[in-house]
Each structure stands twice: as structure tokens, then as C-alpha cells.
């Protein structure tokens, strides 16, 4: 199957990177290479793009898509949380821009065998990096009822989390839960019919929660934002696209903390802690897709772009 993914907030992201033709840029979530392609088009032969992704299918697709730019592109199979080591291995001390387009690619969602979708019956997988041994089935069949409740409540923000967790545990006592279809039926049974009739797909929030837990998405993001800001050259920018409130909250908070680094008590008339701001938040409010983009790509609906600029 061809790797297809329509890049969200593409023009807004590229515009906010303030690309310098001879600069060095990192696409930490390379995917199909949509954002990277637009960056490469704006680079001179002296410019450079480093693409990072943990998905083998994405690496293959992006390598093909970016092949025309040859020497100015380096693609590494890794997680963006390893960005400092990736750059060190390449002998790069600082970069002029970093982008992250978080969440699941259209390809991952549309390839049923990857187990991300709740619209087809497939093995419970959901691994973004298929070298990883643990799968969604591991979580569903081995986590305690409390831990299932916790992740569905916290990562899925589902008010029926307690009942869903209870139903999962009851069902797996009868037989292992191995497919998305099995899990969907269990979730449906745990949610009142009148709620199912008016809401979105009943499994959406639980699937999101399991995927986030399996791939440690929020931990990776939380632990990486400040590291990436530290790797930016003066006036370098980081652009992060999120797809749900949990991710957006982390990015908003991290950017704010890097702008306002003072730890002095509010009662102090002047700053004495000596902490200097790392830069400034460019987007006081997140950039959201236009109505035209949402019509053209319904998966862009919940996306938000936040931008931070390094000042040294």
C-alpha cells in the first residue's frame, strides 16, 4: 500500500519556520515527507534537512519522495526524543528549525493491519515502531483494571473509563482480546446506547488512550520540547502541530516556561535568580486550520500549531 498522508497546516508551518536557504532543519516526525519536501524546496545546495521517524514504512516513503534533493537530506530511523544524539552522531551542534507533526499518520490509520483504526477488524497492534515487542494487545490483556481505567480516563478523557475498564477485564477472563473488532464490541457494551447514538465512534477515545500509552507519546513530548529548544541556533524556530488537548497543553506549558524562566517569588521587585529566557512564544494563540483545509482534509479539524523562537 502506498504511504499517503496529507500534511496538516502545511503553509502555516513552513511560513513560521522562517527558512534560511543554507540553514539546517529537522523534521522530527518525518512521516511521508510532506513538510520536509516543502522545506527542501527552499534550501540551497548548502542547506540541510534531517528527517527522523521510527516507522519503517514512513522512512521508505519519505526517502523516495525526497530523493530529488539527494545530498541535502539525511534520514534516520529513530524517535525524535533521541534528537540530541542523532545530531551529535552527524556532527551537528545547532539547527535553524525543528518541526513536529504529532499523532498518527493517515497511512497508519488507513492500513488496517497496523491496528490503529477502529473502523476495521485487525490485530490489536498500534505500534508506531514495529521493532517494539509490546503491542496494544499486551496492554488490553495484562494491565490491571485500575491501570486500564487510569489511561482511558487520562489519555482518552472518556467519562465511561471505569465501566470500559471493567468490561475489558471481564471479557478477557473468557478469552484473550486479540483484535480491534473484539475490543470495539466490548467498549460498545460498556457505553449506554443513548450516548452511542449521539456521540462519535464509541471506541475513539479508548483507542487514542491505548495508543498514547503504548507509544509513550506524552512522555516523549514532555521530555523533548526543552531539549529541542536548546538545540536551536539564535532566531531558530520550533513548530509543533498537536491533535488533542493533552499534547497541546504540554507544548503550551513548555513554551511558556522557556519564555518565562524566572523562579523568583512574585513579591521580589527585581529578578535575582539569574535565569535567562530561552526565547519567545510566537503564537500567543495556536494557529488552527482554515475551513477550506478542514473540508479538504477532515483529519486536520483538531490540529493546532504553536511556534517558539530561540533567542541566544
- Which residues contact residue 272 at a Cβ distance below 8 angstroms, ignoring those fewer than 6 apart? 264
Q: What is the mean pLDDT of the chain?
A: 92
Cβ atoms 50, 62 nearer than 8 A: no
Cell (9 digits) for 101:
507533526
Worst-scoring range by mean pLDDT, 196-205, 213-222, 303-312? 196-205
Can you give the pLDDT at residue 2?
Answer: 47
Q: What is the DSSP letter of 123?
A: B
Closest CA to 250 of 226, 278, 275: 226
Worst-scoring range by mean pLDDT, 53-62, 181-190, 250-259? 53-62
Environment class of 266 (CB within 10 Å of its CB; exposed 0-12, middle 13-18, buried 19+): exposed
Q: Over 90: is that where the pLDDT of 213 sits?
A: yes
Worst-scoring range by mean pLDDT, 29-33, 166-170, 306-310? 29-33
Q: Over 50: is that where the pLDDT of 3 sits?
A: no
What confidence tens digit (pLDDT) does each residue in 22-31 have? 999 999 999 8
Mean pLDDT of all residues in 128-157:
96
Cβ atoms 156, 206 nearer than 8 A: yes
Can you give the pLDDT at residue 5?
Answer: 54
Between 138 and 113, the higher pLDDT residue: 138
Worst-scoring range by mean pLDDT, 52-66, 146-160, 229-243? 52-66
Worst-scoring range by mean pLDDT, 33-42, 156-165, 288-297? 288-297
The number of CA neighbours under 13 Å toward the Cβ of 180 is: 25
Euclidean distance between the first and the last CA atom of the chain, given in angstroms as a whole number: 45
Neighbours of 60 (CB within 10 A): 13
Q: Over 90: is that where the pLDDT of 137 sits?
A: yes
Can you give the pLDDT at residue 101?
Answer: 94
Confidence band of 127 (pLDDT split at 50, 70, 90)? very high
Q: Which of 15-29, 199-213, 292-306 has the highest mean pLDDT?
A: 15-29
Q: What is the DSSP letter of 92?
A: -
Amino acid at each position: 500500500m502506498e504511504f499517503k498522508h496529507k500534511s496538516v497546516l502545511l503553509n502555516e508551518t513552513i511560513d513560521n519556520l522562517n527558512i534560511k536557504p543554507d540553514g539546517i532543519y529537522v523534521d522530527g516526525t518525518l512521516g511521508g515527507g510532506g513538510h520536509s519536501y516543502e522545506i527542501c524546496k527552499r534550501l540551497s545546495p548548502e542547506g540541510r534537512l534531517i528527517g527522523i521517524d521510527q516507522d519503517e514504512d514512513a522512512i521508505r516513503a519519505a526517502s523516495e519522495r525526497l530523493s530529488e534533493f539527494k545530498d541535502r537530506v539525511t534520514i534516520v530511523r529513530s524517535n525524535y526524543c533521541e534528537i540530541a544524539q542523532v545530531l551529535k552522531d552527524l556532527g551537528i551542534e545547532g539547527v535553524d528549525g525543528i518541526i513536529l507533526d504529532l499523532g498518527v499518520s493517515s497511512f497508519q490509520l488507513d492500513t488496517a493491519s497496523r491496528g490503529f483504526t477502529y473502523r476495521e477488524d485487525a490485530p490489536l497492534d498500534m505500534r508506531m515502531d514495529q521493532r517494539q515487542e509490546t503491542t496494544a494487545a499486551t496492554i488490553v490483556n495484562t494491565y490491571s483494571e485500575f491501570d486500564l481505567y487510569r489511561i482511558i480516563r487520562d489519555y482518552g478523557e472518556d467519562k465511561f473509563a471505569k465501566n470500559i475498564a471493567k468490561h475489558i477485564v471481564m471479557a478477557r477472563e473468557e478469552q484473550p482480546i486479540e483484535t480491534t473488532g473484539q475490543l470495539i464490541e466490548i467498549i460498545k457494551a460498556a457505553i449506554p446506547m443513548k450516548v452511542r447514538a449521539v456521540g462519535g465512534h464509541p471506541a475513539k477515545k479508548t483507542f487514542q488512550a491505548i495508543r498514547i500509552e503504548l507509544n509513550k507519546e506524552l512522555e516523549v513530548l514532555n521530555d523533548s520540547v526543552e531539549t529541542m529548544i536548546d538545540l536551536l541556533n539564535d532566531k531558530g524556530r520550533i513548530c509543533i502541530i498537536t491533535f488533542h488537548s493533552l499534547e497541546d497543553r504540554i507544548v503550551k506549558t513548555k513554551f511558556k516556561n522557556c519564555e518565562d524562566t524566572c523562579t523568583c517569588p512574585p513579591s521580589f521587585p527585581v529578578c535575582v535568580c539569574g535565569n535567562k529566557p530561552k526565547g519567545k512564544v510566537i503564537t500567543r494563540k495556536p494557529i488552527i486550520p482554515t475551513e477550506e483545509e478542514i473540508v479538504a482534509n477532515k483529519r486536520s479539524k483538531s490540529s493546532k500549531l504553536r511556534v517558539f523562537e530561540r533567542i541566544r
